[in-house]
Amino acid sequence: MTRRSLAGRARGLILRTAPGIPRSRREARTSLEALATLRGQGWHRSVGAAPVDGEGRPLPWLSYSAVRWLDEVLHPGVRVFEYGSGSSTSWFAWPGRVGEIVSVEHDAAWFAQLPQPANGEIRHVPCADGWWDGSADSPYVTAIADGAPWDVVVIDGASRTVCARVAPKYLAPSGLVVLDDTDLATTDPAAAELAAHGLGRLDLWGFKPGVQRMTCTSVFSWDFNHWLLPGPAHHHTR
């Protein structure tokens, strides 16, 4: 076997086992530009760590397109309830982003590490149910009733299917539900629960902090007109 044929076999093996390797100089240059864009958004700093932006500030672990859209439409008059706490709670609590953020967290050890937001609170509410399903009358699921109605409800914690079943009852008429991981089949029952309440759906695809595959975060509402941006399209970057 010649050296050329060996090199050809080696190249073929590399391309089959590592399909992300660029095939040409142009592709390599463009790939590096794409990585530079992700680096500017803090993607590399979020690999194996808490999600942050390019300046190290907390980000929700949602698709970048969802984070960008939410950042555009939220305002200090909005009240948010969140199932599951973490970097997203700190992001919502950023001065001027929303008026109030209330979050429930089932994990006691994780709860102990979280800073309380200045414009709301994180409540530790134990949940013995599973990650996707559970009881509609558990304290974790029904915690949303205290302070309702909410303008935005984020479902990104435990008992997602049941939370999705209950959340619309405590949502403002023009409110918004944010459901993460809708690219996964395991989230389909939760999405179906929201659809059963008549909420429309908008899928926001893209990378999320520290994740190398395409993901989807979906938003649901009875009235998306309430969440449309006025005037011409925004072209600035952050």
Q: Which domains occur in the chain, in start order?
A: 3-40 (no CATH), 64-227 (3.40.50.150)
Residue 52 backbone phi and psi in degrees, to 5: -140, 165
Evaluate whether 155 touches 178 at the Cβ level (below 8 Å): yes
Helices vs strands, H then E, count in the chain:
8, 7
Residues of the chain with pLDDT under 70: 1-20, 128-134, 231-238
Position 134 scores a pLDDT of 64
- Per the rule left: phi > 0, alpha: psi between -120 and 50, beta: everything else, 147 is left
Q: How far is CA 212 from CA 52, 203, 206, in A?
A: 15, 19, 10
pLDDT digits (tens, 9 = 90+) for 167-218: 999 999 999 999 999 999 999 999 999 999 999 999 999 999 999 899 999 9
Residue 178 backbone phi and psi in degrees, to 5: -105, 120
Position 144 scores a pLDDT of 97
Cα–Cα distance, 141 to 210 (Å, whole number): 29
Residue 8 backbone phi and psi in degrees, to 5: -65, -40
Q: What is the pTM of this model?
A: 0.86
